[in-house]
């Protein structure tokens, strides 16, 4: 179990680099809107949807795993 935690911990820099690359990709799309293809828009949409999904998961976890709200 400890080894799994270490593997996750040491994979964080690679994940941060990948996240930065995706953000840079979105910035370039915003700058060059006239050159955007349907594939690029699809990738941008999926990235945005994934960020929103992780936000929602974090909110649910923060509320104590309830979908309706906080515990009284």
Task: Please write down the long-range contacts of 34-42, taking CB distance under 8 Å and 24 or more positions apart.
Answer: none
**Which residue range forms the structural domain that includes residue 32?**
2-62
CA triple 24-53-3, angle to 5 deg: 80
Structure confidence at residue 52 (pLDDT): 95
Q: Is residue 27 part of a domain?
A: yes
Q: Is residue 67 part of a domain?
A: no
Q: Is residue 38 part of a domain?
A: yes
| Entry pTM | 0.54
Identify whether the C-beta of residue 29 lies closer than 8 Å to the C-beta of residue 36. yes
Q: Is residue 36 part of a domain?
A: yes
Q: Work out how many domains the chain is built from and give that number.
A: 1
> What does the pLDDT profile of the chain (72 residues) look like in tens digits?
666 666 666 777 788 888 888 888 878 878 888 888 899 889 889 988 999 999 999 988 888 887 777 666
């Amino acid at each position: 179990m400890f080894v799994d935690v270490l593997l996750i911990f040491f994979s964080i820099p690679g994940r941060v680099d990948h996240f930065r690359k995706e953000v840079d990709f979105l910035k370039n799309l915003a700058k060059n809107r006239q050159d955007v293809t349907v594939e690029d828009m699809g990738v941008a949409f999926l990235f945005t949807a994934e960020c929103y999904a992780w936000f929602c998961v974090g909110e649910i976890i923060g509320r104590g795993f309830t979908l309706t709200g906080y515990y009284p």
